[in-house]
Each structure stands twice: as structure tokens, then as C-alpha cells.
Amino acid sequence: MEFFRIKKDIPFMRHALVFNVISLLTFLAAVFFLATKGLHLSVEFTGGTLIEVKYEQSADLEKIRGALGKNGFSDFSVQNFGSSQDVMIRLPLRDAQDSAKQGERVMAALAGEAPGAALQRVEYVGPQVGKELAENGAMALLVVIVGIMIYLASRFEWRFSVAAIIANLHDVIIILGFFAAFQWEFSLSVLAAVLAVLGYSVNESVVVFDRVRETFKKVRGLSTPEVLDHAITSTISRTIITHGSTQVMVLSMLIFGGETLYYFSLALTIGICFGIYSSVLVASPLVMWMGVSREQFIKAKKVAAEGVTDDGACV
Amino acid sequence: MNRYPLWKYVTVAIALVFGFIYTLPNFFGESPAVQVSSAKVTLKVDSTTQARVEDALRAAGIAHDGIQLDPVGVKARFKDTDTQLKAKDAIERAVNPDAADAQYVVALNLLSASPQWLTSLHALPMYLGLDLRGGVHFLLQVDMPGALTKRLDSIAADLRSLLRDKNIRHAGINRDGDRIVIKFRDAETRSAASRALGDNVADLALAEAGLGDDLRLIATLKPEAGKKIAEFAIKQNINTLHNRINELGVAEPVIQQQGADRIVVQLPGVQDTAKAKDILGRTATLEIRMVDDSPGALEAGLAGNPPFGTEVYTERGGSPLLVKKQVVLTGDRLTDAQPGFDGQTHEPAVHLTLDSAGARIFKDVTRDNVGKRMAILLIERGKGEVVTAPVIRTEIGGGRVQISGRMTTSEANDVALLLRAGSLAAPMDIVEERTIGPSLGAENIERGFKSTMWGFLAIAVFMIAYYQMVGLISVIALASNLLLLVALLSLLQATLTLPGIAAIALTLGMAIDANVLINERIREELRAGMPPQAALSEGYERAFGTILDSNITTLIAGLALLIFGSGPVRGFAVVHCLGILTSIFSAVVVSRAMINLVYGRQKKLTKIAIGTVWKDGITTVDGQK
């Protein structure tokens, strides 16, 4: 079996502008949703209480709401998730004194009005902890970005690092944009997925750029767009197969992983799809427009003699 | 060129055997068990305890699958959870005949069901996190200012007794915020007091203030003393939590300090979470204060303006009471508290034993206040309640005190438990809580397992169809990656959580990248007309740099998550980082060893089963021209 029987290099760079405009529009839409709707943050970040209960039969949400209302709860949300038997109840933060006891009070309230609920999970996060988790999350994102920038800068010349970082950061914004647009819950595990996928898709740019560098050195007489086309074409088979395999795994989590892994794998799915697109079709044109040319690599060769990796293995 | 020296094959073989052995316990799983450990430091669990457990089970007619004795305690295995629960009750009755005064902690536990030889190699199943086995996780924040205030209150009481011992007359000692103000009528007394305090109390910095007949000595805590108090408060609270959790009967509780002022408590397998939270969350401390019974004072207090230095409390049973703010004694002076019955009235009561300093103070106070009332307050979560307010009939020496009045037997038990378990040095608040029901835990394991299995199968089918023999080798390498990762996690006894399982799945999905890189490169070399042996060798050589690159970028993200992540993210990050390391090894070394074994020996290799290698115009099958 061989999926990719490509006779000639595909002229990706001819459509460079189109790719970038598509990407820019998606990016702007993401920013728009982030600005207008904002992220639907989970209790881990906002603080509050989350209670999951399971009923033997389909749960009567109205009854549950009534039970909570009667017992003096306010601003709560009651939703089904997964199945009609599973109910998720969210309560906002209240004064620190009684928050920790909210789980028990909810169960007591349910026992009276909507009996038969089995407590599956309670999660309570106090305001201080929520704030810290959010701060640490932001810090982790920052460290990943800086770390990858340093790595790319040491590995390639600046045009490549800048292009790769732009392409991959805009992926992060797009994932967040999806979460804002559909008001999916943004939790700590989604953040983990975003960071994992950031590390993963930067590597895609690395593979293509490795090939670009190799082609510049080996083949004479090609124009810059032709070199880029060749590099992308010759790595495309690996790109599709690799990401396809990862996506199969993620899909399996999406299907079998249940509610807890649902948004995690959703973030990965978006990240993987946009990761391929942007690190190949957005990053490469950016490099081209920043004026990459053969001469830069001939010079680079001298540096290489002093010990810098230059043959950058690739597919 | 595609041959490994023997030592490389041996290394790979050893790694795989190691992976197999340490992964094995996870297949045996865990069997339900009951664990009996000592509730007291003085009481050792030994073979007699083991014999008692055996007898108890025999008497109750419960079959067990083996009883063992280890440093933690006696552990008995059972075939299912029903038997386990029955056995727990039987053992509980046998070793703790007096439920009020439990000598042993009898707890439900899970034991590795793997054979003895595996256990002796320290090959244990992965440690499952709370989201997989069910249980409670709390993050408690210790209220440090509260600890300091409490300590200052008790220092103020010490100063009072010190000055009285030295016959230095003062005009009042009060805590004002974070300092203690001592008033004097003349300067001589003040300097005498200053000397006395300087000699006896090292933790305080003293300063003089005031003029005329309003002379004051202001004592503040030295910074290092403050730091010591904070450290002590955390330690004391952890100890207290240990004691309380022992009373709950939890097999493997985790109680750890986190950061400067937080404590993590994890109680795996706890079913009755409400009870656990109740016991933990109750920051009960005992205070003994005097009651102000002066005429009219209570009425004024009820009207909203209690006399200076007093406050209104409600006695158990409902009647209000005016209590002085000055604390005579705190729970710190308590060495023991036992539930029991009043000798005369046969009412449920709690018997307290005080330490020597406490006993002396108590004796002084009761001597000076015969005929007056004394209030015993239980302070829980900032709210005080007067348990009882008896009239002092005579001087009470010896440090033995009894609290009785309007308590039920179970209340007496609870109060005794709370007091005995030690008072908390500082109040604590639950700032984070996760409770996971046991059924959800089991469901989570199944979900994680299914996701990984189906994902793996799909990838395996595709790889073998697309790359044939080389694809099969890639799949074996991927399987060995899984084996090594699980073995490593089991060996390190890292906590596996659902995000951890997700990380295993994701790592496998990403790890196949390395093999795809290699296989594509081999095909490309074949396409370029290289002989098969050279193509194999070249494929591995050239792909290695890229594999390293791709793993470094992922590792950067993994490490950042490990450093800044908390809770579920940490579980993800640990597995993710370990997975990256094992995947480099298995994708490069293990798969190369397999390739070398399969193809390396054939000198005249004409084709590699790597699927169709397509060339422009001519299609070659299986690398054959």
C-alpha cells in the first residue's frame, strides 16, 4: 500500500496567500469569540463546587432544580451529561465558611425532593486555589512558548523560529477560540492538551524546515517557492500518516473515554488538525515572505563546520 | 551493517524482560483485604494479633485467602468485597471489644494479588489515583495568623502565671492584635517585670511605652519565633490529622505538607465521605473559661452590649451564658480524653486528663473560684459552644476533669475523639476537595483501558497493512513502549490517574511517529535505488535526528506541565514525560534490534517487506524491482 503517489511537487506556495488568509480569518474569528463570549472556565479555575450524581432512572432535572431552590441555593446550574441518568450540578463560590459543606447540603436537599441520587463525584475549589491554578496554567503556557522559541532559535535561523512560533501560537488561539465559541468547558486537562499539542505540532514545522534546509543545500537552481514545495511534498506522506495515527488514538479517547476525557480529546483533535495546517501551510509561506534564500545556508555551512548540526536529519 | 553486537541484543532483551516482570502485577490486580494496625504508639502489632485475627475469622466462619504480618500490620485477604466487609465487622468486634476505646485500626484495603516472588522483587501494581479507585482528596489551608493569635493568647496566660509566681503586680495583660500589652501602675514594677520576662521568655521582644500611671510593656513575637510557630503549627496539624484519620480507619492515607501553609489529605477507598469530611473539617479545640454571673451582666450582653472582656455564648440545651474572654486553659494542655459515664448520675461524660502545667493552672483556678461557674467550650470552625458550665464545688487537683451534661453517648464519643485526636494548632479550611465515588473510579479505569486498547489496535492494523513486516516490527516496538512505560510507572509507584491513562494513550499515538519517520525514510531510500540493507541502515540513521527533535519539543511541553501543573495535570505530565523517554528507546533501539534480527543476517537481501514502494512510472512491490 502506498497512499502518496505524487509525481511532481505540489505547488503549495502558489496558494500561499490563500492559506494565510484562511488562517488569518480563523484566527480573527477565534479572537472575536474569545473577546465576546470568553472561555467557559471550569470550577478548577473559577472556584466553586461541582457535584455529579447518578440516578437509577432518567433524572428529573426540574425536580432537582426545585429541590435546590427550596433549600436556599442560588445561581446553580443543573445539567445532564453523558446520559439522562447522570446529572452535573454546579454551584458558584460562596462565602468560604460553608462552601466546603455544600456537597453534603446538596445531597441532603436531593434526598428530600429528588431521592435516589448516588453521589459520583464532588469537586470543590476555593477562590485562592482557583486563582493559583489559573496563574500556574498561564505560567506553564509561557514557559512552553519560551522553551520552544529558545530551542528553535538554537536549531534554525531566526526566520524559521519566528515563522514556527507564529504558526503554532495561532493554533493555541484557535483551540481557545473553539472553546469560547461553543462554550465548551475549559478545564485543567484541556490546558494540558493544549500544551501537549503545542509541543507536538511545532515538531511538524521542524520536519518541514529540516527538509527545506537540506533541499537548499543539495539542489541548485531551484527558486525558494520550489524548494518549499519540494520540502512539503516529500514530507507530506509522513505528516499525514503520523498525525492520522495520533488522531486515531485521540478519536478512541473521544469515543470511549467518557465525559472526563471528552474535552481533553476534543482539544487535541482541533490542535492536531490545525497543527498540520498551520505548521506546514502557514509557517512555510511566512518563511518565504521573510526572505529565506539559498545564500543563507551556504553561509550556515561554515558555521556547521564549527560543530553546529547542519545536516538535520529528516524524512 | 545491520547487525548489533551481542551486548545490544542482551540490553534490549533485559529491558523487555524487566518490562514484562514489572508490568505483570497489574494483570493480577488487587484483592480485597482487611488491615489491622495499631491505633496507639505503645501498642505493637505482632503474631498474637495475627492469631487473634485468625481466631476471629474462624469463629465467624469466614474463609480467607491468606493472612500476613508486615511492619504496617496484619493483613488478611478475601475473595470478594462482600466477604471483606463481613470480615471487617468480625475482626473489629474481636480486636476492639470496647468500641469507645479502640486499640486497633481496622481498615479496608486492597492488596496486590500477584504471586509472592513478584512482590519480593518489589513488582507491585501501579498505584491508582483517587479518580480510579474512589476516595477523597482535600487540600487544607492552615490559618497562620490564627495560629499566631492562638499562641499569643497562650503566652499571655503564661505571662500572667509567671508574674504571679514572681509576685509582680500588673494592672492587666491583654492581647491586642499581634502583641501583648501588660499594664503597670509604677515604673519599678515594670522594670522588674521586664527583667523577669527577659530571663524567662526568650521568644518575646519587649518594649516600654506609656507615661505617668499608665505604664505599659509591649511584647511582640520575634520574627524567628513567629516562623517557628508557623512550622510547628503545620507539623502539629499534620499529626492531629494523622490521629483523626487513624480513628477513621483508612488503609493508606496520604497526609503531606504542600507549600508553606497547606496540607494535602488523600483518603483512598473511603466510602463514607461525609463522615471523613466531618471528622477532618472539625477543627475542635477545647477552652476553659470563667462564667460571668454578676447580676444584670447577662441581660446587658443579650441586649447587645456585653460588659468589657466578656461575650455571650449559648450553652448546649439553649440557655445563653456570659463568658469571660480570658482563657484559663486550652486544649493544648490536654493529654487524654475518654468517653465514659458520670460516677453518680450515670450520664454520658468525657474524662479529660491534663498535663502538669494544665493541672496546676486548673488547681489554682478552681481554688480561687469556688462557688463560681466555669464554662467548658468546644470551639469548632470559629464557632464556640458551651458544652457544660458546672459550678466549682471544691479545688480540683491532679489534672483529672470530667465534662458531663446533656450529652448522648455518641456525642460523648465524638467529643472525646475530637479532643483526644489532639487540638489543631491553627484552624484549617478546606480550599479544594475532590470526592470520587468508587463506581465512578471503576468506570474511569474501564474507559481509560478501552480508549488505549482500541486506539492501539487501530494503529496496529493500519501499520501492518501499510508497512507489512516492517510495520509489524513497528507495532512490536510500540507494544514494548507500552510495556516499558507501565513497568516504569509500576516500579516508581507513580500515581496513575485518568489523565495519566490519557497520557499513555497519547504517548502511544505520538510515539508511532518515530517509526513512521523511519519507515518512510527507508521507503524513500529504496525509491532512490539504494540496496535494501543500506536503505534500512540509512533509514534509521537519517531519521534519528528528526526523532530526537520531535521528542525534545514535546518534552519541553511535558516538563513545563510537570513543573507548573497541579492535580490532574501533574498526573498527565509525569506519564507524558516518562512516555517520551521510553518511546525513544523502543522506537529506535528495540525496533532496530528486531529489524537486525529479521534482516541483518541475510547477506543477499533483495527485498524488504515494507509495503509498496512506488516509483514514478514503475511500481515496485515489496522493494523488489
Query: Is A143 in Cβ contact with B550 (below 8 Å)?
Result: no
Instruction: Please check whether residues A273 and A188 belong to one and the same domain.
Output: yes
Nearest residue on chain B to A143, alpha-carbon basis: B560
Q: What is the pLDDT of residues A217-241, one digit of tens each?
A: 888 888 888 888 888 888 888 888 9
pLDDT of residue B417: 65
User: CA A99, A101, A105: angle at the middle one, nearest 5?
Assistant: 110
Q: Which of A206-210, A246-250, B297-301 has the lowest mean pLDDT?
A: B297-301
Instruction: Please check whether residues A52 and A24 belong to one and the same domain.
Output: no
Span B430-458, average pLDDT: 87
pLDDT of residue A266: 93
CATH architecture of B145-226: 2-Layer Sandwich (3.30)
**Residue A313 covered by a domain:** no
Distance from B490 to chain A by nearest Cα, in Å? 22
At residue A260, does pLDDT exceed 60?
yes
How does the average pLDDT of chain B come out, rounded? 81
Query: What whole-number percentage of chain A has pLDDT above 90?
Result: 15
Span B272-290, average pLDDT: 71
Query: Is B567 in Cβ contact with A188 (below 8 Å)?
Result: yes
Check the CA dihedral B169-B174-B179-B185 and report its sign.
negative
d(CA A249, CA A255): 10
Q: Which of A208-222, A298-312, B578-592 has the lowest mean pLDDT?
A: A298-312
d(CA B541, CA B338): 74
φ, ψ for residue B334, nearest 5 deg: -90, 130
Highest mean pLDDT among B283-292, B338-347, B570-579: B570-579
- Going by pLDDT thresholds of 50, 70 and 90, the confidence category of residue B101 is low
What is residue A127's three-state secondary structure?
Answer: helix
**Residue A7 covered by a domain:** no
DSSP, res B390: P
DSSP β-bridge partners for residue B604: none
At residue B619, does pLDDT exceed 70?
no
pLDDT of residue A310: 44
**Residue A16 covered by a domain:** yes
Query: Is B139 in Cβ contact with A249 (below 8 Å)?
Result: no
Which contiguous run of DSSP H or E holds residue A49? strand A48-54
Q: Collect all residues with Cβ–Cβ distance below 8 Å to B447 and sequence separation of at least 6.
A: A256, A257, A258, A260, A261, B498
At residue B486, does pLDDT exceed 90?
yes
Q: What is the pLDDT of residues A267-278, one digit of tens each?
A: 999 999 888 888
Query: Is B611 in Cβ contact with A129 (below 8 Å)?
Result: no
Residue with cell 525534545: B552
Query: Is B556 in Cβ contact with A148 (below 8 Å)?
Result: yes
DSSP, res B126: P
Q: Class assignment of domain B6-24+437-620?
A: mainly alpha
Query: Is A128 in Cβ contact with B450 (below 8 Å)?
Result: no
pLDDT of residue B458: 94
Confirm whether the ipTM is greater than 0.85.
no
Name the residue facing A189 among B382, B509, B572 (closest C-beta): B572
Cβ contacts (< 8 Å) between B560 and chain A: which residues?
140-141, 143-144, 147, 195
Amino acid B415 reads V
Query: Is A129 in Cβ contact with B543 (below 8 Å)?
Result: no
Span A41-69, average pLDDT: 83
Name the residue facing A192 among B439, B466, B572 (closest C-beta): B572
Residue with cell 489554682: B364
Highest mean pLDDT among B26-30, B263-267, B393-397, B459-463: B459-463
Span B610-622, average pLDDT: 57
φ, ψ for residue B19, nearest 5 deg: -60, -40
Span B357-368, average pLDDT: 85
CA–centroid distance for A116 within its chain: 38
Query: Is B466 in Cβ contact with A241 (below 8 Å)?
Result: yes
Instruction: Please check whether residues A252 and A295 belong to one and the same domain.
Output: yes
At residue A41, does pLDDT exceed 60?
yes
d(CA B498, CA A125): 19
Name the residue facing B498 among A5, A247, A261 (closest C-beta): A261
Distance from A46 to chain B by nearest Cα, in Å? 12
Instruction: Please check whether residues A146 and A267 belong to one and the same domain.
Output: yes
Nearest residue on chain A to B499, alpha-carbon basis: A189
DSSP, res B309: T
Query: Is B516 in Cβ contact with A242 (below 8 Å)?
Result: yes
Query: Is B431 in Cβ contact with A198 (below 8 Å)?
Result: no
Instruction: Please check whether residues A180 and A267 belong to one and the same domain.
Output: yes
What CATH number does residue A263 fall under?
1.20.1640.10
Exposure of A298 by Cβ count < 10 A (0-12 exposed, 13-18 middle, 19+ buried)?
A: exposed
At residue B617, does pLDDT exceed 60?
no
Span B510-534, average pLDDT: 88
Instruction: Please check whether residues A70 and A177 belong to one and the same domain.
Output: no
Span B538-556, average pLDDT: 85
Higher pLDDT, B534 or B385: B534
Cβ contacts (< 8 Å) between A54 and chain B: which residues?
439
Cβ contacts (< 8 Å) between B557 and chain A: which residues?
144, 147-148, 195-196, 198-200
Domain end position, chosen among A81, A108, A125: A125
Amino acid B586 reads S
Do residues B109 and B251 touch, judged by C-beta distance below 8 A?
yes
Q: Select from A105, A195, A240 the residue whose CB has the most chain B CBs within 10 Å, as the one to mutate to test that interface.
A: A195
Query: Is B561 in Cβ contact with A192 (below 8 Å)?
Result: yes
Domain that holds residue A297: 12-41+130-305
- Going by pLDDT thresholds of 50, 70 and 90, the confidence category of residue B100 is low
Instruction: Please check whether residues A134 and A190 belong to one and the same domain.
Output: yes
pLDDT of residue A299: 58
Helix axes of B409-420 and B223-248: crossing angle, nearest 10 degrees: 140
pLDDT of residue B40: 62
Name the residue facing B139 among A103, A129, A189 (closest C-beta): A129
At residue B286, does pLDDT exceed 80?
no
Distance from B124 to chain A by nearest Cα, in Å? 26
Query: Is A139 in Cβ contact with B550 (below 8 Å)?
Result: no
- Going by pLDDT thresholds of 50, 70 and 90, the confidence category of residue B498 is confident
Cβ contacts (< 8 Å) between A175 and chain B: which residues?
none
Instruction: Please check whether residues A196 and A244 belong to one and the same domain.
Output: yes
Q: How, if at all, do strands A83-91 and A48-54 pair?
A: antiparallel
φ, ψ for residue B107, nearest 5 deg: -130, 155
Highest mean pLDDT among A42-51, A222-231, B197-206, B451-460: B451-460
* B145-226 has the same fold as B30-113: yes
Query: Is B560 in Cβ contact with A121 (below 8 Å)?
Result: no
Q: How many domains does chain A have?
A: 2
Cβ contacts (< 8 Å) between A139 and chain B: which residues?
564
Q: Select from B283, B456, B506 the residue whose CB has the most chain A CBs within 10 Å, as the one to mutate to test that interface.
A: B506
Q: Which of A53-57, B156-160, B189-193, B480-484 has the lowest mean pLDDT?
A: B156-160
User: CA B112, B117, B121: angle at the middle one, nearest 5?
Assistant: 80
d(CA B468, CA B617): 23
Q: Which CATH superfamily is domain B30-113 in?
A: ACT domain (3.30.70.260)
Higher pLDDT, A10 or A232: A232
Nearest CA among B191, B170, B168 for reference residue B181: B170
**Residue A4 covered by a domain:** no
What CATH number does residue A62 fall under?
3.30.70.3220
> Which three cell numbers, joined as nine digits, stand for B496?
496513575
Fold of B282-432: Gyrase A; domain 2 (3.30.1360)
Q: What is the pLDDT of residues B240-266, one digit of tens each?
A: 787 777 766 777 788 888 888 888 888
Residue contacts between A and B (CB atoms, under 8 Å): 260
- Going by pLDDT thresholds of 50, 70 and 90, the confidence category of residue A313 is very low
Cβ contacts (< 8 Å) between B277 and chain A: which residues?
100-101, 104
Instruction: Please check whether residues A20 and A59 belong to one and the same domain.
Output: no
Domain end position, chosen among A74, A103, A125: A125
Query: Does this model's pTM top 0.90?
Result: no
Instruction: Please check whether residues A194 and A173 belong to one and the same domain.
Output: yes
Name the residue facing A203 among B452, B506, B553 (closest C-beta): B553
Instruction: Please check whether residues A17 and A67 belong to one and the same domain.
Output: no
What is residue B335's three-state secondary structure?
Answer: strand
How does the average pLDDT of chain A come out, rounded? 82
Domain end position, chosen among A108, A125, A142: A125
Domain ranges of chain B: 6-24+437-620, 30-113, 145-226, 282-432
Q: Which of B219-228, B231-240, B459-468 has the lowest mean pLDDT?
A: B231-240
At residue B612, does pLDDT exceed 50?
yes
Query: Is A199 in Cβ contact with B558 (below 8 Å)?
Result: yes
Query: Is A249 in Cβ contact with B506 (below 8 Å)?
Result: yes
Name the residue facing A252 among B455, B462, B498 (closest C-beta): B455
Span A242-266, average pLDDT: 90
Name the residue facing B612 among A2, A253, A312 (closest C-beta): A2
pLDDT of residue A269: 93
d(CA B29, CA B31): 7
User: CA A56, A58, A63: angle at the middle one, nearest 5?
Assistant: 105
Query: Is B436 in Cβ contact with A133 (below 8 Å)?
Result: no
Q: What is the pLDDT of residues A134-161, one digit of tens each?
A: 888 888 888 888 888 888 888 787 888 8
